[in-house]
Amino acid sequence: MLVLSAHRLSSELGQWRGNTAVYTALADRIRLLVLDGRLPLGTRLPAERELAEKLGVSRTTVAAAYASLRGMGYVSSTRGSGSIVGMPGSGTPPPEDNPAGLLDFSKAALPAAPQFTEATARAVQELPAYLNGPGYDPVGLPRLRQAVADRYAERGLPTEPQQIMITLGAQHAISLLARTLLERSDSALVEAPSYPHAYEALRAAGRRLVPVSVSSGSGWDEDGMEQAFRRAGPALAYVMPDYHNPTGEVMPAGSRERLLTEAARHDTVVIADETMAELRIDGPEPVLPLAAYGSAVLIGSLGKTVWGGLRIGWIRAEPDLIGRLVQARFAHDLGTPILEQLIALELMKDYRRLLGVRAGQLARGRQHLEFLLASALPEWKVPHVNGGLSTWVNLGRPSSSQLALAARSGGLLLAAGPRFGINGVFERFLRIPFSYPAEDTEQAVRILAETWAALGPESPSRPSYLPALV
């Protein structure tokens, strides 16, 4: 069981006070942390007295907040075990990800590509040739590794199939690399904001995360990045240089060179997550992959371009590291299923046309979302991105968690801005995908506009939010 300290919970809560009663505001923020996955189910909350002292409130306030959470089903309490995080219901996992029927905009994802069904049918025809084998492969089918290598060559990065390992999607690749390259005493440099599940994988393997700022319109804080390298000497750096999630920024060529120069100086392994790299809509021509500028490990996936249900990703690295990764893999899984690899191979045969279809879909979705937000919420600052699946909206005030929690009651599921940061920052921001059908996007913006209006203006009693935000 994970036992949460009062210090850790206080950091996750951020600026939690609002216009409601103190115990209600505390209960609401803890509930949001549970719903966003920032407090895992089964976690034991701090003792009432300990949390009260850390937050500077009375023990009665904390007790009332815990009682409210128990009444809603988000906390259970038993003698000797304390207050345990849970979900309303029987305590068993729900049969679906979204049993309440909410409009789920928490995922930046596309529906399956039109080519998927036909590619699957062709792959099934090839499957009998593999049925006498185990049905999975630890490094990847040679033909698929060659196809991925060829795609890198098309993008301007010559690659041999021996440099490719096929994984169970990008998240599997991130976790495998973190477990292989990090020791418990090591630090990892990360972007802030960034992909939340990458934070989780790196935290599980290393000692601490060292953040470097990325912002819409300004991109990467290069001076801050150099300082982070000098100060922390990270063993690993995790970056998303192409259509960064969630800001949509693209790292310029000069910045890529500067990053890799600093990394080489400090013996840091750089991992570039390229899951969004092939989702260009328009704008400048793509920059070469990071490994074209120096030593870097690349992660790719079909989860964003083709469909999240196709669990196929890959790692591009030097053959000696690929060998280490294959050996490390066996402790957690034995390989990637053959049928999914055959489907991926069929899709890679006409991948450029598939990407062209996706670019058209995303261009329409981006235009529609920008129009709706400009009409319904003109005070929000909506960056115009040239690729990816979402936009990182500046709300103009630190109300992201409050808005996300209220929107759930209106039927819309969104991840609050702090979900993409460390220690509760990014309360001014909200990631909104433009990859959903037009009618769903219209409904989502309508709920957001109604919820935002109901929240009312920013309370003048909360200026302490401002210094903590980026």
Same domain, 200 and 310: yes
Interhelix angle 170-181/319-329, nearest 10 degrees: 100
pLDDT recorded at residue 96: 45
Q: What CATH number did the domain enclosing 371 receive?
A: 3.90.1150.10
Determine the Cα–Cα distance for residues 441 and 431; give it in Å rounded to an integer.
13
Same domain, 162 and 246: yes
Same domain, 242 and 308: yes
Same domain, 366 and 324: no
Same domain, 280 and 203: yes
pLDDT beneath 50: ranges in the chain: 90-97, 99, 459-470
The alpha carbon of residue 83 and the mean position of all alpha carbons in its chain are separated, in whole angstroms, by 29
- Give the pair of three-digit tokens for residue 349: 């045969």
Same domain, 256 and 379: no
Q: What is the pLDDT of residues 108-152, one digit of tens each?
A: 999 999 999 999 999 999 999 999 999 999 999 999 999 999 999
Same domain, 75 and 154: no
Same domain, 198 and 166: yes
Residue 23 in domain: yes
pLDDT recorded at residue 87: 74
pLDDT recorded at residue 15: 80
pLDDT recorded at residue 425: 84
Q: What CATH number did the domain enclosing 322 receive?
A: 3.40.640.10
Task: With beta carbons less than 8 A apart as the criterion, state whether 119 and 343 touch.
Answer: yes
pLDDT recorded at residue 271: 98
Determine the Cα–Cα distance for residues 291 and 158; give it in Å rounded to an integer.
10
Same domain, 209 and 252: yes
Residue 403 in domain: yes
Q: For the chain, how are helix, strand and coil distributed in percent, rounded to 5?
A: 45, 15, 40
Residue 246 in domain: yes
| Domain finish residue from 297, 329, 352 | 352
Residue 1 in domain: no
| Domain finish residue from 352, 376, 392 | 352
Same domain, 283 and 225: yes
Residue 98 in domain: no
Q: What is the pLDDT of residues 332-382, one digit of tens each?
A: 899 999 999 999 999 999 999 999 999 999 999 999 999 999 999 999 999
Same domain, 179 and 306: yes
Residues of the domain holding 11: 6-85
pLDDT recorded at residue 423: 73
Q: Which helix or strand (DSSP H or E) is residue 323 part of?
A: helix 319-329
Same domain, 144 and 289: yes
Residue 463 in domain: yes
Residue 91 in domain: no
Residue 414 in domain: yes
Q: What CATH number did the domain enclosing 12 receive?
A: 1.10.10.10
pLDDT recorded at residue 100: 57
pLDDT recorded at residue 93: 40
424: left (phi over 0), alpha (psi -120 to 50) or beta: left
Total domains present in the chain: 3
